[in-house]
């Protein structure tokens, strides 16, 4: 199965990232993933509607079943916060995507998840951007 990618952005260009390669490594090739790339307004509206939270999220993860799910990636928020994480924009998008995939895998925030994020970020940052 693959990654279905949809974007609501008109002007903003995205760095070249092989989302499918990262997804296949973390969730497996049989996992069906929908990835929505958007900006603040839509991400905040989805956060309010589905999570009853009013803040602007950088990413949202929605598991639909054992082998399917959806990620909403807010590139506007990611661009603003990249420096806080000592990442460039491309690296931060990869980090957020990995973070969301780990949530879909069932992980919750904490040391174990952070360790996995660092491991995958080190592994994929160069290989998926070359």
| Stronger pLDDT, 3 or 93, i.e. the higher one | 93
The mean pLDDT of the chain is 89
pTM across the whole model: 0.89
Task: Provide the pairing of β-strand 59-65 with 68-74.
Answer: antiparallel
Instruction: Tell me what the mean pLDDT of segment 18-28 comes to.
Output: 94
pLDDT band at 12 (very low <50, low <70, confident <90, very high): low
Q: What is the CATH number of domain 3-127?
A: 3.40.390.30
- Among the residue ranges 2-16, 59-73, 90-104, 115-129, the one predicted with the least confidence is 2-16
Number of H-type helices and E-type strands within the chain: 5, 4
Helix (H, G, I), strand (E, B) or coil at 32: strand
77-93 burial, b at 16+ Cβ within 10 Å, e below that, comes to bbeeebeeeebeebbbb
Q: Rounded to an integer, what distance in angstroms lies between the CA atom of residue 24 and that of residue 27? A: 6
Instruction: Tell me what the mean pLDDT of segment 80-96 comes to.
Output: 92
Question: What pLDDT does 130 receive?
Answer: 44
Question: What pLDDT does 129 receive?
Answer: 45
């Amino acid at each position: 199965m693959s990654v279905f990618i949809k974007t609501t952005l008109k002007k903003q260009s995205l760095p070249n990232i092989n989302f499918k390669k990262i997804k296949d490594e973390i969730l497996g090739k049989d996992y069906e993933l929908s990835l929505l790339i958007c900006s603040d307004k839509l991400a905040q509206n989805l956060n309010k509607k589905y999570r009853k939270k009013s803040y602007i999220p950088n990413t949202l993860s929605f598991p639909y079943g054992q082998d399917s799910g959806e990620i909403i990636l807010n590139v506007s928020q990611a661009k603003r916060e990249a420096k806080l994480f000592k990442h460039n924009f491309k690296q931060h998008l990869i980090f957020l995507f990995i973070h969301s995939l780990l949530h879909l895998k069932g992980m919750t925030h904490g040391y174990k998840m952070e360790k996995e994020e660092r491991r995958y970020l080190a592994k994929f940052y160069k290989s998926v951007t070359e």
